[in-house]
Amino acid sequence: MKSTDSSPVFSIPVIRVQPSSGWVSLNLGALWEYRELLWFLVWRDLKVRYKQTVLGAAWAILQPFLTMVVFSVFLGRLANVPSDGIPYPLFAYCALLPWQLFAHVLTQSADSLVADKQLITKVYFPRLVIPISPVFSGLIDLAIAFILLLPMMFYYGVFPTSAIVALPLFLLLAMATALAVGLWLSALNVEYRDVRYTVPFLAQLWLFATPVAYPSSLVPEKWQALYGLNPMAGVVEGFRWALLGTQSLPTPTILASSLAALTILVTGAFYFRRMERTFADVI
C-alpha cells in the first residue's frame, strides 16, 4: 500500500490505494507523521499498567531489585559466581536494567498486534507504531529503575569513568535489539499463534544465554565473537563497561552484537512491512 504526497499545484495529499507485491519500502515518513499516536500509545501503556496498582511506578524498580536480590543471594553468595571484581549486587543490577527493557518488549510485542486487533481492523495508521511503542514504555521503566543504581554505586564506592559518555550508544543498541526481536515476534504472531506460547520460554532461555548473572569473561576468548551474536550479550557488557568501568571493553562481542542487532532489525522491519498488508484480513 502506498501513500505519496505529490500534488504540485495544491499541497493536497494524494493517497493512492493499490495492491502491492513482494517487499515494500519501510515508509518511515508515514511513521513520522504519526509520531503523536506513538507517544499516546506509550502513554496509554504506562497509564494502564500502573492504574489501580498500590505501588504504581515503584514496580519498575521493584522487579529488577528483587531479581537482583535473588541473584545475589543464590548465585553471588552461595554459588560464588565471579563478577569481574565488581560487588555482585551492583554487577547484576546494572545488567538487569537493559535486560528488563528487552524482556518487557519481548513479552509485550508478541501479543501486541493481536491485542490491538480491534484497531487494526477498524482504523488506518502505520502498523509499525504498535511494536515500537513498548520500546519506549520500557525505556521509561528503565529510567525509573536507573534511579536506584546511583545510591547503589555510591554505597559500593564505584564511580563512573569517562566511559559513561558511551552509555547512550549502548542504550540505543538495547533499544534496537528489543525492537528487532519485537518486530519479528509481533508479525509472526499474527499468522502463527504458536509464538505467544514460546515467548515465556524464549525469554527464559535468552536470559541464560546473556551475561546477566555471570560475566561474559567466563566464555573462552575464541568463542567471544560467536557469543556476541546474541546481541543482548554486547548490550549487557557495554552497560557494565560504560557505567561501572569494567577493566576492558570486550570489543569482539560488542561488534558482533551490533552487527547481529542491525541485521535482525532491518530484516524484521521489512518482514513486518511485507506481512502488514494482510494483517487486517488474517488477524
Partner 1 sequence: MSEAIIRVEALGKLYRIGARQERYYTLRDTLTEALTRPFSKLSCLLGCNGVSPTISESAFIWALRDVSFEIKRGEVTGIIGRNGAGKSTLLKILSRITEPTTGFAELHGRVGSLLEVGTGFHPELTGRENIYLNGAFLGMKRAEIQRRFDEIVAFAEVERFVDTPVKHYSSGMYVRLAFGVAAHLEPEILLVDEVLAVGDADFQKKCLGKMGDVAAAGRTVLFVSHNMSAIEQLCPRALLFGHGHLVEQATTTEVLKHYLSDATASPDGNFDLAEHPARSREHLPVIRHLTLRSSNIHPDHIFYPDDTLIAEVTVVPPKPIRDPRVALAIEDCFGRRIMTLASYFQSDRLPDIDSPRRITCILPRLNLGSGRYLVSLSVCSKYDVIDGLHNAAWFEVGWRNNYGNGEPYQPFYGPIIAQSTWTTQDAPFA
Minimal distance in Å, beta carbon 28 to partner 1? 17
Q: Which among 226, 223, 230, 224 is positioned nearest to 249, based on CA atoms?
A: 224
Judged by CB under 8 A, the residue of 27, 31, 40, 139 near partner 1 is 40
CA distance 185 to 131: 9
For residue 60, list its beta bridge partners: none
Q: Which of residues 98-157 bind partner 1 (CB under 8 A)?
A: 118-125
Find the part of the chain contacting partner 1 (CB under 8 A) among 90-98, 102-110, 250-258, 273-281.
273-281
**C-beta closer to partner 1: residue 77 or 193:** 193
Per-residue cell: 22: 513482494
CA distances from 81 to 72, 86, 141 (A): 9, 12, 28
- CB atoms under 10 Å from CB of 38, counted, come to 20
Minimal distance in Å, beta carbon 45 to partner 1? 10
Minimal distance in Å, beta carbon 194 to partner 1? 5
The sign of the CA dihedral 221, 227, 231, 237 is negative
Judged by CB under 8 A, the residue of 47, 55, 165, 223 near partner 1 is 47
Judged by CB under 8 A, the residue of 23, 154, 192, 223 near partner 1 is 192
CB 213 within 8 A of CB 221: no
Minimal distance in Å, beta carbon 225 to partner 1? 31
CA distance 52 to 216: 40
Q: What is the DSSP letter of 6?
A: -
If one asks whether residue 54 binds partner 1 (CB under 8 A), the answer comes out as no
CA distance 177 to 231: 6
What would the x/- binding string for partner 1 be over residues 223 to 262, using CB under 8 A?
----------------------------------------
Judged by CB under 8 A, the residue of 14, 143, 209, 255 near partner 1 is 14
Q: Which among 219, 222, 261, 225 is positioned nearest to 98, based on CA atoms?
A: 261
If one asks whether residue 8 binds partner 1 (CB under 8 A), the answer comes out as no
Burial of 42-63, coded b for 16+ CB within 10 Å and e otherwise, reads beebbeebeeeeeeeeeebbeb
If one asks whether residue 193 binds partner 1 (CB under 8 A), the answer comes out as yes
If one asks whether residue 51 binds partner 1 (CB under 8 A), the answer comes out as yes
Minimal distance in Å, beta carbon 51 to partner 1? 5
Total residues in contact with partner 1, by rule CB under 8 A: 41
If one asks whether residue 266 binds partner 1 (CB under 8 A), the answer comes out as no
Query: Can you say how many angstroms the Cα of residue 122 is from the centroid of all Cα atoms in its chain?
Result: 28
Query: Can you say how many angstroms the Cα of residue 144 is from the centroid of all Cα atoms in its chain?
Result: 16
Minimal distance in Å, beta carbon 9 to partner 1? 7
CB 152 within 8 A of CB 93: yes
Per CB under 8 A, residues contacting partner 1 are: 1, 3, 7, 9, 12-20, 34, 36-37, 40, 44, 47-48, 51-52, 118-125, 190-194, 277-278, 280-283
